Amino acid sequence: MQFHILSFEGPDDYARAGGIASRVSGLARALADAGFDTHLWFIGAPDLPGHESHDHLHLHRWCQWISRYHPTGVYEGEEGKRMDYAASLPPFLCREVLLPYLQRGGHGIILAEEWHTVDAILHLHWLLEQAQVRPRVTMFWNANNTFSFERIDWGRLAAAATITTVSRYMKHLMQRFGVNPLVVPNGLATDAMIPPERGALAAFRSRLRHRTVLSKVARWDPDKRWLSTIATVGAMKQQGWQPLLIARGGLEAHGYEVLAAAAACGLKVVERVLSEPGFRGIIQAMEGLERADVVNIRSPLDGEARRLLFQGSAAVLANSGHEPFGLVGLETMAVGGLACTGCTGEDYAVPGYNALVLETDDPEEFIHLYGELRAHPSQDRALRRAGCLTAKHFEWPGIIRRILLPRLQLIAKRSHPAAASLFRQEENGRNADSRRAHVTLASRQRQRRRCNEARVKLMVGGKALQATHTADTPYEAASIALKTIQQERRGLRALHR
């Protein structure tokens, strides 16, 4: 199989604006590490190569000529980029990459993210139909949020692609639009589980000793409960907790309202720009904060800096009024941090077991719940351990193995009705019995490509008919092998007439 991920966001600093970048970067890397030929098409940095390859992973930076006029980030000049992406990417992808692969007998998988890619999906669907290869490409479109849902033609989209989303909460929201999406949750890259260096953690905590350190990393958006966070910090200060909020927002205008609210609460706000990436940058930024109540971080936080911040904080305020999934909370759990979530799309959060879960805007709710942990450190440690164990279930390799590939196989099975009526498959060399056929599937590595081999045995009138075939997907291999047996079976019938 050949995977193509379509997304505005991607792994470049220029293309990182939120959880989508983490999602597509982690998913693409995990698919490539599993041996799948994987292509990520995103709005990349204008000063980096248009195409890069790293083993099985291919990065395609699109719309770079537009991005040169919009150096701030991926969503600057958003509408022009979206239109160019939808118009120019599908023909290139179809003509230069997909069609040659399909002509060699392969099967393509398209995984598109967010409303920006809807028109690209519809365009690609039409091109594949014109080329008469649409059945050989499985297309998914995923919703990470409800942004611009009113702009989507849901009927056309559902006809072109299987619709997915990231949580049960989002699934229920989307049913109002007449669709019933499949749930494929966000995952974590393997390096998200790597804790920060002990020395770095000790240095971070030493700089901020005697402070109750809270952190929040989210867009400046009212849904992210920033104003409630400021009210909580203000209440904690009044009660003598000596709080320090380390805040990393975005470019949204709501940020000015949040910082003004902090000043109105009597909180002293300071700004910091990180001098270098990684843990050294965040540690240096913590100097001279004795009188500060809020630190507004004006630089992007890379993975190393985030992991240090999340584990080193007393609590990470990842709560929102509307949270489709809550990747920050899960990232916090992964490094042994204390996640404080809301109660919308955070399917992974169990109140009091692996996270603190806030259901109101009342500052006293957090102060009471965290106060219990502060008074009983063993409970704090137990909750952090449980969170870390929870996060392990959300590593991308496991999500791909347990959720994504079975869904792909189900859809592929539906597209091969002859195979579907004759067998139930079980992967990785395990046997699968059906009413008529005995099928064994195995994954093979041949000339740096992962192939799937199907061995099919069918008893007909006391005679065993057998066939073996290799293809890019289990169902293609099994379907062709079954057709071979059916042809042999028809030949036997002709002999006995």
Q: Is residue 25 part of a domain?
A: yes
Q: Is residue 402 part of a domain?
A: no
Looking at the structure of the chain, the number of domains it has is 3
219-233, 313-327, 452-466: segment of lowest average pLDDT:
452-466
Q: Is residue 451 part of a domain?
A: yes
Q: What is the mean pLDDT of residues 248-254?
A: 92
Helix or strand holding residue 381 (H, E):
helix 377-392
pLDDT at residue number 488: 67
Dist. CA 337–CA 21, nearest whole Å: 22
The residue among 29 and 465 whose pLDDT is bigger is 29
487 and 379 within one domain: no
Residue identified by tokens 């000793």 is 209
Phi, psi of 301 (to 5 degrees): -105, 115
Q: Is residue 374 part of a domain?
A: yes
pLDDT at residue number 415: 61
Q: Which two tokens stand for residue 89?
A: 């990417």
Q: How confident is the model at residue 458 (pLDDT cuts 50, 70, 90)?
A: confident
Q: How confident is the model at residue 460 (pLDDT cuts 50, 70, 90)?
A: low
CA-CA distances (angstroms) from residue 196 to 13, 119, 202, 304, 305? 21, 41, 10, 7, 9
Structural domain harbouring 55: 2-187
In the DSSP assignment, the letter for residue 196 is: P
Q: How confident is the model at residue 206 (pLDDT cuts 50, 70, 90)?
A: very high
Dist. CA 219–CA 17, nearest whole Å: 8
Q: Answer whether 114's CB lies under 8 Å from 146's CB.
A: no
pLDDT at residue number 439: 60
Q: Is residue 192 part of a domain?
A: no
94 and 119 within one domain: yes
423 and 376 within one domain: no
23 and 66 within one domain: yes
Dist. CA 44–CA 67, nearest whole Å: 8
pLDDT at residue number 495: 46
Dist. CA 101–CA 106, nearest whole Å: 6
Dist. CA 489–CA 495, nearest whole Å: 10
Q: Is residue 110 part of a domain?
A: yes
pLDDT in tens, 392-444: 999 999 999 999 999 888 887 766 443 333 334 333 332 333 335 566 666 66
**Count of CB atoms situated within 10 Å of the CB of 155:** 11
pLDDT in tens, 75-87: 999 999 999 999 9
223 and 128 within one domain: no
Dist. CA 266–CA 179, nearest whole Å: 47
- The residue among 397, 396, 411, 389 whose CA lies nearest residue 473 is 411
Residues of the chain above pLDDT 70, percent:
87
The residue among 333 and 488 whose pLDDT is bigger is 333
251 and 165 within one domain: no
Dist. CA 450–CA 452, nearest whole Å: 7
CATH number at residue 354: 3.40.50.2000
Of 187, 219, 235, which residue constitutes the final position of a domain?
187
365 and 325 within one domain: yes
pLDDT in tens, 8-37: 999 998 999 888 999 999 999 999 999 999
pLDDT at residue number 408: 87
Q: Answer whether 154's CB lies under 8 Å from 176's CB.
A: no
Q: Is residue 193 part of a domain?
A: no
Dist. CA 24–CA 230, nearest whole Å: 31
The residue among 28 and 464 whose pLDDT is bigger is 28
What mean pLDDT, rounded, does the chain reach? 89
Q: How confident is the model at residue 128 (pLDDT cuts 50, 70, 90)?
A: very high
pLDDT in tens, 375-392: 999 999 999 999 999 999
Residues of the chain above pLDDT 90, percent:
79
209 and 90 within one domain: no
44 and 165 within one domain: yes
For residue 55, count CB atoms less than 10 angstroms from its CB and return exposed for 0-12, middle for 13-18, buried for 19 or more.
Answer: exposed
pLDDT in tens, 190-199: 899 999 999 9
352 and 223 within one domain: yes
Q: How confident is the model at residue 215 (pLDDT cuts 50, 70, 90)?
A: very high
Q: What is the mean pLDDT of residues 102-106?
A: 92
In the DSSP assignment, the letter for residue 355 is: B
Supply the DSSP string of 206-249, one letter for each residue: HHTTTSEEEEEE--S-GGGTHHHHHHHHHHHHHTT--EEEEEE-
349 and 477 within one domain: no
Q: What is the mean pLDDT of residues 124-144?
A: 96
224 and 249 within one domain: yes
Helix, strand, coil percentages (3-state) for the chain, rounded to 5, are 45, 20, 35
Q: How confident is the model at residue 93 (pLDDT cuts 50, 70, 90)?
A: very high
Of 392, 425, 460, which residue constitutes the final position of a domain?
392
Dist. CA 64–CA 46, nearest whole Å: 5
CATH number at residue 430: 3.30.160
**Count of CB atoms situated within 10 Å of the CB of 95:** 12
pLDDT in tens, 286-308: 999 999 999 999 998 989 999 99
Q: Is residue 458 part of a domain?
A: yes
Dist. CA 323–CA 343, nearest whole Å: 8
Dist. CA 308–CA 83, nearest whole Å: 39
164-168, 248-252, 339-343: segment of lowest average pLDDT:
248-252
pLDDT at residue number 432: 34
